[in-house]
Amino acid sequence: MASSVGETAPIILAASRVSKSFGEIPVLFSIDFDIRPGEVHAVIGENGAGKSTLIKILSGLEQPTSGSISFDGQTVVLPPNGAAEAMGIVLIHQEMNLAEHLTVADSIFLGRELKKFGFLDVREMRKRAAAVMETLHVHVDPDARINTLSVADKQMVEIAKAISRDARVLIMDEPTAVLSVGETQTLFEQIRRLTARGVAVIFISHKLDEIMELAQRVTVLRDGQLIATVGTEALTPDSIAQMMVGRELSNLYPPKHEPDVDAPAVLSVRNLSALGVADVSFDLRRGEILGFAGLIGSGRTAVAEAIVGLTHRSSGQITLDGKPVDFTRVSQSVDAGLAYMTKDRKGKGLLLNMGLRPNLTLLTVKKHLRAGFLDSASETRALERAVRRFDIRARDASVAVGRLSGGNQQKLMLGKTMESEPDIIIMDEPTRGIDVGTKQQIYHIIAALAAEGKSIILISSELQEVIGLSHRVVVMRNGRLAGVLEGAEITESEIMRYAAGIKQSGNDERISA
């Protein structure tokens, strides 16, 4: 394979004619891949294309069915179970891989604890953990237990864990999926610092602009086949997308239909306070897509969870279609036509040990009862519908959901939420880990729902997405509402100003309108 980067540094890690099957099912076909010190090499492809599988092979977590791996020019069999870390191959998993009971510092040093006289040097580990977190501008207590952190903070801990190791090859599987622009930039700074020191970085992302910004080379996979490895300078986001999906991707975002300014507010929130939320008020109109932007931990999820009754509300009123409601259980909000889709698909969204069908219908089991008993035919029909609508790809319906590729899990969760046919949908990072092709489909679905008269709250850390879809955008900061943007105001810089606290608006008159 001809290198498209005119580098002279020797290849550090390479895969040669690597194939992989799970049981009978082939997922990778004779892939060649290599990376040099100081290089960022991106891997892109549709959901289920085999990206995660490839990098698992490159880090020893899976063994190839055929083909070989070479490291420092030597053909090697990588040791399993993360032992390749000792060789300097460090992986950040796509699905967060942290033990929930441990503390942040414990997690960062798990498996290579610092010791003094044979005992753990707890103080030093805490200090170093804090230092790494500092370089990432993350403010979490090194003694905090993982199960008290938000999804984004967990991702940052995962990143901290990886960059604190002496990596020669750092592999990142969609590290930015739950990060907002700010965190992403911090991460990129760290990546550049590392590559400057000669670390090789393999980077997977569905966000093409990130790839353009960071990578020198891009390898495109489609259905387990190597399509091409090319230098980024020769590419545009459009051409990458085309290589990935195999077709032209015009208009990622559908045209916004005119928001009906006179439409009644279907959901009104007044002075909502809850854990992580203070005094939030806003209205959601019928047929409207209301974006929620903000930094990590700015309280967007907390607002949503307080509305649907997942967390305790300390004060504030919520009205639905003019009627005051007080949800204390999710079932009440679902029955009232208000559904919330979590961003934590592994921890809160899907039963990883179960098949597709029970997962899809879990929220709406009652719809599939006939004479009180589950009607599996009806469930199967629902699954077939969801598979078609969201392009879910799985070996078969009985495969444990935990074995699906990340993006397909996300699609299944979308399907699950939509099964309840809600009038109001709160989507928390709905396109987390989804490829551009499917993203486009989902955007169209969201827009179509709004056009039908459904109302959508779109919580997203991807600013482009918020801007491309929303009629109005709520920006949150520190658990409070920092501003509401409308029409031409909705620009990246405006949102960032509010989010960062540079701009603050007395927006009371606007939302009470």
Ligand X SMILES: Nc1ncnc2c1ncn2[C@@H]1O[C@H](COP(=O)(O)OP(=O)(O)OP(=O)(O)O)[C@@H](O)[C@H]1O
For residues 237 and 227, give the distance between their C-alpha atoms in angstroms, rounded to a whole number: 16
Q: Closest separation between CB of residue 431 and Mg ion, Å?
A: 14
Pick the piece of the chain touching ligand X (CB under 6 A) from 260-268, 354-362, 380-388, 398-406.
398-406
CA-based radius of gyration for the chain: 23
Under the binding rule (CB under 8 A), the answer on residue 352 touching another protein is yes
Asked if residue 473 binds ligand X (CB under 6 A), the reply is no
Give the residue with the Cβ less far from Mg ion, 142 or 406: 406
Q: Among 15, 296, 363, 386, which residue sits at the site for ligand X (rule: CB under 6 A)? A: 296
Does residue 415 belong to the site contacting ligand X (CB under 6 A)?
no
**With respect to ligand X, which residue has the nearer C-beta, 186 or 378?**
186
The item of another protein, ligand X, Mg ion, none sharing an interface with residue 50, based on CB under 5 to 8 Å by kind, is ligand X
Q: Is 478 in the site for another protein (CB under 8 A)?
A: yes
Tell which positions 307-346 bind another protein, by CB under 8 A: 310, 329-331, 333-334, 340, 342
User: Of the listed pieces 44-52, 79-87, 225-233, 265-273, which binds ligand X according to CB under 6 A?
Assistant: 44-52
- The 3-state secondary structure of 24-43 reads CEEEEEEEEEEECCCCEEEE
Name the one range near another protein by CB under 8 A: 5-13, 67-75, 106-114, 256-264. 106-114
Task: Tell which positions 37-66 bind Mg ion, by CB under 5 A.
Answer: 52
Instruction: Give the Cβ contact number of residue 324 at 10 Å.
Output: 10
Query: Cα separation of 147 and 54, whole Å?
Result: 30
Contact 506, 305 (CB under 8 A): no
Provide the mask over 59-98, with x wherever binding to another protein is found by CB under 8 A and - wherever it is not.
--x-------------------xxx-xx----x-x---xx
Integer Cα distance of 96 and 92 in angstroms:
8
To the nearest whole angstrom, how small is the minimum distance from the Cβ of residue 451 to another protein? 26
Half-sphere exposure (CA, 13 Å, Cβ side) for 287? 12
Which residues, 6 or more positions from 289, have their beta carbon under 8 angstroms from its beta carbon? 256, 446, 447, 450, 455, 456, 458, 469, 470, 471
Residues 6 or more apart whose CB falls under 8 angstroms from that of 217 comprise 4, 5, 39, 40, 41, 42, 229, 230, 231, 232
Q: Going residue by residue from 306 to 325, which x/- string records binding to Mg ion, judged by CB under 5 A?
A: --------------------
Residues 6+ apart with CB under 8 A from 63: 57, 77, 78, 80
Does 406 participate in binding Mg ion (rule CB under 5 A)? yes
Among 366, 403, 492, 504, indicate the residue that binds another protein (CB under 8 A).
Answer: 366
Of these partners, Mg ion, another protein, ligand X, none, which one is at the site of residue 397 (CB under 5 to 8 Å by kind)?
Answer: another protein
Binding residues among 46-75 for ligand X as defined by CB under 6 A:
47-53
Listed residue (460, 433, 440) closest to 176, CA to CA: 433
> Which of 18, 404, 425, 475 contacts ligand X by CB under 6 A?
404
Distance CA 353, CA 126 (A): 34
Q: Does 461 bind Mg ion (CB under 5 A)?
A: no
406 part of the interface to another protein, by CB under 8 A: no
End-to-end Cα, the chain, rounded Å: 63
* Interaction between residue 143 and another protein (CB under 8 A): yes
Element (H, E) at 155: helix 151-163
SS3 of residue 127 by DSSP:
helix
Q: What is the separation of C-alpha 263 from the centre of its chain, rounded to a whole number of angstroms?
A: 32
Contact status: 228 vs another protein (CB under 8 A): no
CB of 264 to another protein, least distance (A): 26
Contact call for residue 242 and another protein (CB under 8 A): no
Pick from 78, 383, 449, 466 the residue near another protein by CB under 8 A.
383
Helices 406-419 and 436-451, axial angle in degrees (round to 10): 10
Two tokens at 466? 């918020």
Q: Does 301 bind ligand X (CB under 6 A)?
A: yes
Nearer to another protein, 286 or 340 (CB): 340
Question: Nearest 10 degrees: CA dihedral of 42, 45, 49, 51?
Answer: 20
> How far, in Å, CA of 32 to CA of 14, rounded?
7
**What's the min distance (Å) between Cβ of 445 and ligand X?**
18
Closest approach of another protein to the CB of residue 468, in Å? 22
Rule CB under 6 A: which residues touch ligand X?
22, 27, 45, 47-53, 94, 148, 150-152, 178, 275-276, 294, 296-302, 393-395, 403-408, 433, 435, 461
Give the footprint of Mg ion on this chain (CB under 5 A).
Answer: 52, 94, 405-406
